[in-house]
Amino acid sequence: MPPRKKITADASASVQPTRTSARNQAKVQATVAASAPAPTPTATTSAPKAQVKAPASNAKAASKAKVPVSRGKGKRLHNEDDEDEDKPEAKKVKSDDKVDDSDDEPAPAPKKMVTVVKRGAAPVDPCSGNVDTHQVLSTSDGVWDAMMNQTDVGANANKFYVIQVVHPIGNDNSCTLFTRWGRVGENGQQQRKGPFSSSVAVAEFKKQFKAKTSTNWEQRHGMATKKGKYTWLERDFEEDEPDKADSNGGGSSGAASKEPENIPDSALADEVQELCRIIFSTKFIDAHLSSMNYDANKLPLGKLAKGTILNGFAALKTLSEVISNPGSATATQMGGYRKAVEDLTGRYYSIIPHVFGRNRPTVIDSAVLLKRAALQELDLVDALGDMEIASKLISSSVLTDDSGKALNPIDAHFKSLRLTNMEHLVKTSQEFKGLEAYARDTHGSTHSYNVQLLNAYRVERQEETDAWNKAGFDGLKDGERLLLWHGSRTTNFAGILKQGLRIAPPEAPVTGYMFGKGVYFADIITKSAGYCYAHLSNGTGLLLLCEVAVKPFYELNNASYNAAQDSRAAACRATKGVGRYRPGAWQDAGDTLENETLTGVHMPHGKLEDGKDTTALMYNEYIVYDPAQIRVRYLLMVKM
């Protein structure tokens, strides 16, 4: 999974307009259809809404149509050049006729939500018109479904291509080759060819895949994208299995679709229910994905393969290396600096689909743009991992308890987080008041937004406690542990609570991480609140207060991508980016919050002071490079 990270940004977070989103929500349906004999193969091409069905039987057409087979020098179904803007009218074609599959003709804007019905091994394309009647062919050789993407920023090409072998439910003797293509963010055009036997349909699928990628279907894993060809996007269509600890002995599948008819009231406190509605909100996931230009039509959340996310990181890393060294061997081999940055930018957009409308995709071709892109794109790739977890938890939560009794869906989602403890704090308690004071007193003077504490929750994750104790941090001296802020998108919190805060993988470029790849914290609430993007969640933000083993720390006044290595070489546990404005004093968190489990942990006391230092930062940052140094202690819900 992608990491949890923080990137320095001391200025007030700018509010970005929400763009139209179209993401997929998986739901499982089961239907049965009677088999029918396969009629004569035909092909139809149409715009997305014009569903044209092949006739059941046509003697004249049958006399002309030939069942195509895979031939080394035979004609391909689609023209290699799919940049022609002429939109073909719906028409029948002979099985081997060429069909122009241009992606440049405007199409109706996609709906805000696209429902993907998964029946069998993969969902039928939602634009096909066959969602309720067909399923994707699955054989011992695999699932016959492929999503491809191609971005060429120089040519203003940003297009997708879908291939599926589908058949009527329960009748795989009558298969159709379905293809759809167009510009990313649009529905595009589509074609059907067939019906065929499953073996002929598979041969046609393989031929079409090779025509678009220049790679054999059997060699798609680890394939290198060839110039002018599509990139295959690996998707994960395995069934989401619930945790064994959450399954009941009655053999329940745990699928969210098997929701009991009589839904019981939630057993959770109202404040915990409110939190669950936020972190499992598909509406908020939509808004956050849309704001980052991500096209969930192409790679639905919950279907992202881990390798796809890592490939996205790797593409950015290579781009970073070329920009850092324009005369590198990589740049030279790719035809020079300009050609290299265009191709590498396109490679990244091909792996992680972005919606640019009809605008030319932005070329990342300078250190300034790279840093800006790193802030945005690493945030995107990072967030995709956590949102993927949320999406899978939503779709796979078990709606019964251990005894088989029905659970409220909110309770089921909460249970899927597998938290050791979450306890809502009473607002009149000293613990809540102490946290409220911490939030109030650490408001940065350069931050214009207000942060109002709404709810606070004690949190415990057993995995963190075990890792903490194993590393020996339970024996640290007083003051070597600090209670620090970490902010993130509300849509990331299901993933964070489920798996904890994580470090960027080796595939991620170091550019964009001011002090190297680690988990970033602050002692100023508004510093961390800027990463909540609360305007995308109805003005509600979520932050963590974590117990972090940081001392002794390695102090820096300026950015250093090598901070992780340098801090280790100096025998320090963490890096501290020294800020101008900082807490004037520190106090024992156990005493202040009347929480004895925090005895010896320090937290700021009182207002901020101006250190008047010459430093690149306005506020302190603390970076650790080992997740074992982190224990989540509180989750705070704020209004911004």
Per residue, what are the HEC states of 276-321? HHHHCCHHHHHHHHHHCCECCCCCCCCCECHHHHHHHHHHHHHHHH
Nearest to 493 by CA among 325, 275, 319: 275
Nearest to 318 by CA among 597, 46, 128, 509: 509
Q: Report the alpha-carbon angle 548-549-551, nearest 5.
A: 125
d(CA 159, CA 165): 21
Nearest to 337 by CA among 328, 326, 324: 326
d(CA 172, CA 269): 50
Q: Report the alpha-carbon angle 372-374-377, nearest 5.
A: 105
Provide the 8-state DSSP code for 169.
T
Q: Which residues belong to the active site? A: 621
User: 138-139 and 142-143: which strand pairing?
Assistant: antiparallel
128 in Cβ contact with 50 (< 8 Å): no
User: In the structure encoding, which two tokens stand for residue 373, read together?
Assistant: 């892109």
Residue at token pair 């059997």: 218
231 in Cβ contact with 148 (< 8 Å): yes
**Straight-line distance from the first to the last Cα atom of the chain, in angstroms, rounded to the nearest whole number:** 29
Provide the 8-state DSSP code for 438.
H
